[in-house]
C-alpha cells in the first residue's frame, strides 16, 4: 500500500473547550481507526502566556489509506475538485499531501476544505516517488 500514514493536527486554544475540539476530530476520523491511532498531546505557552495544546493523531499502514478514502468520500464534489486542481501545490517533494478542514464545520459533522485559521491540518505520507503520489491522490479524488 503506497499510503504510509495519515496525520491530523489540531490546536486547542485557551478559549476553546478541549472536548469540543476532540469531537471535531472524532467527526473526521472514522471510529474504526481510533483503536490503532497514535495520539500525542503537547502543551505550549502562547505569545501572551496562554496555554495552547496541540493534539496530533497518526494512523499508519493500510488503515491510513482506508481513512483517507473515507474522508474523501465524505467531502463535497466541489472540495474534491479544488483539491484535485491544486494537487501539485499540495504535494511536497517527498510525496506528502497537505490539506486542511474547517474545525468548526467538523464539530458539526461536515468535512469542508478550509484555508484559514481554526483548522484540522491533515498530512498524508506516501511511500514512493512524488509523481506516483500525485497520480495516486488524483485517482482517489476521482473515485
Summary mean pLDDT of the chain? 95
Predicted confidence at residue 115, as pLDDT, reads 92
pLDDT in tens, 3-36: 999 999 999 999 999 999 999 999 999 999 999 9
Q: Which CATH architecture has domain 3-142?
A: 2-Layer Sandwich (3.30)
How long, in residues, is the chain?
143
Q: Are 11 and 94 a contacting pair, CB within 8 Å? A: no
| Whole-number pLDDT of residue 47 | 87
Measured between its terminal Cα atoms, the distance across the chain in Å is 17
Domain boundaries along the sequence of the chain: 3-142
Q: Which three cell numbers stand for residue 69?
A: 478514502
| Residue 1 pLDDT > 80 | no
Over residues 94-104, the mean pLDDT reads: 97
Q: What pLDDT digit, counting tens, does each position of 79-95 carry?
A: 999 999 999 999 999 99
Amino acid at each position: 500500500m503506497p499510503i504510509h500514514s495519515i496525520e491530523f493536527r489540531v490546536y486547542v486554544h485557551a478559549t476553546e473547550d478541549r472536548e469540543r475540539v476532540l469531537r471535531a476530530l472524532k467527526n473526521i476520523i472514522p471510529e474504526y481507526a481510533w483503536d490503532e491511532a497514535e495520539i500525542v498531546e503537547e502543551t505550549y505557552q502562547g505569545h501572551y502566556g496562554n496555554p495552547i495544546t496541540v493534539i496530533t493523531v497518526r494512523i499508519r499502514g493500510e488503515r491510513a489509506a482506508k481513512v483517507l478514502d473515507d474522508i474523501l468520500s465524505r467531502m463535497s464534489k466541489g472540495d474534491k475538485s479544488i483539491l484535485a486542481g491544486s494537487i501539485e501545490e499540495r504535494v511536497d517533494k517527498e510525496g506528502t499531501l497537505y490539506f486542511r478542514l474547517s474545525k468548526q464545520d467538523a464539530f458539526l459533522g461536515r468535512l469542508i476544505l478550509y484555508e484559514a485559521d481554526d483548522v484540522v491540518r491533515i498530512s498524508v505520507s506516501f511511500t514512493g516517488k512524488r509523481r506516483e503520489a500525485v497520480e495516486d491522490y488524483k485517482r482517489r479524488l476521482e473515485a
